[in-house]
Amino acid sequence: MDKLAVVVNTFEEENNPDFSDPLVNILKMLDVDVIEIHGHYGENPLDYGASHIFLSGTPTTSDFALSDWDTQTYIEGTYSWLSKCNQPVMGLCFGHQMIAQLFGGEVRALTRMRMGHKNIRITQSEGIFKEIRELQGYIEHRDYVIPPKEFIDMARYNRVCHAMKHPKRDIYGLQFHPELSGKIGEEIIKRFMDLPFEGQGTTSYTLYTSDKNRQPSKEKIPVLEL
């Protein structure tokens, strides 16, 4: 099977020029067949024969924030296809937060938006980060994640997880934007596309699902001051 990258636009609007477009352009530069679909419209990348899947970031002007209760509930239903996915998956920024939420981690609010190129320390130099100790990565986010317990925390900036990986599958979450991080970001995307594709089917892992009777916690979770 030839490689086909499917970029899932996670922005609630149809066009996402800030984040989806640069990613698509890099994939085309790498001579990868690529299509873009819209996740919030219920489009499923498995229906397109994807070999590798990207969950895009969203602009900070988006009404969606995974630290909000309604967004968490919506995402758990709309992106449940991840439970049937054997393909490598890379979630970027909001996509990274979605993976954390779907697999039982937490998404919390920062005191203010973080933006710009930052020095990100790689704590696990393996997989797509092999032989990389640090990098200048572009960030633009207002929430942060506490990774699911079983996930491997792979990178940090200012006490916040900026990359994580499922322990058994090639499911990566990156809080930073490799598509806006220059040559090192392009190399990370290329390495991801070089990961083997094992075929489509039901995986050995399951997603975190909310109890239908679960109610938002009345306890005010403190935001992280950095």
* Chain CA centroid to CA 76, Å: 14
Which two structure tokens, joined as six digits, stand for 36? 């873009």
Euclidean distance between CA atoms 208 and 214, whole angstroms = 13
Residue pLDDT tens, the chain, 226 long: 689 999 999 887 777 778 899 999 999 999 999 999 998 888 999 999 999 999 999 877 666 677 676 677 778 788 888 877 899 999 999 999 999 989 999 999 888 888 899 999 999 999 999 999 999 999 998 899 999 999 999 999 988 999 999 999 999 999 999 999 999 999 999 999 999 987 544 443 444 443 433 333 333 334 444 4
Q: What is the pLDDT of residue 114?
A: 86
Q: What is the pLDDT of residue 142?
A: 86
Q: What angle do CA 132, 136, 138 make, to 5 degrees?
A: 125
DSSP label at residue 73:
H
Q: List beta partners, residue 110.
A: 224
The answer to whether residue 214 is domain-embedded is: no
Rounded to 10 deg, the angle between the 69-78 and 94-102 helix axes is 80
Instruction: Say whether 85 is catalytic.
Output: no
Catalytic pick from 85, 96, 161, 179?
A: 179
CATH number for the domain that contains residue 164: 3.40.50.880
The answer to whether residue 146 is domain-embedded is: yes
Contact 141, 134 (CB under 8 A): no
Q: What is the pLDDT of residue 72?
A: 72
Number of CB atoms found within 10 A of residue 214's CB: 11
3-state secondary structure of 148: coil
Q: Identify residue 16 by its one-letter amino acid code.
A: N
Euclidean distance between CA atoms 121 and 112, whole angstroms = 21
Euclidean distance between CA atoms 33 and 45, whole angstroms = 14
Q: What is the pLDDT of residue 208?
A: 43
Q: Which domain holds residue 48?
A: 4-193
The answer to whether residue 115 is domain-embedded is: yes
Euclidean distance between CA atoms 74 and 70, whole angstroms = 6
The answer to whether residue 130 is domain-embedded is: yes
The answer to whether residue 225 is domain-embedded is: no
3-state secondary structure of 28: helix
Instruction: Say whether 93 is catalytic.
Output: yes
The answer to whether residue 201 is domain-embedded is: no
Q: What is the pLDDT of residue 18?
A: 83
Catalytic pick from 38, 96, 166, 177?
A: 177
Percent helix / strand / coil, the chain, rounded to 5: 25, 30, 45
Domain count of the fold of the chain: 1
The answer to whether residue 206 is domain-embedded is: no
Catalytic pick from 36, 38, 52, 93?
A: 93
Number of CB atoms found within 10 A of residue 79's CB: 24
The answer to whether residue 218 is domain-embedded is: no
Half-sphere exposure of 160 (CA within 13 A, CB side): 29
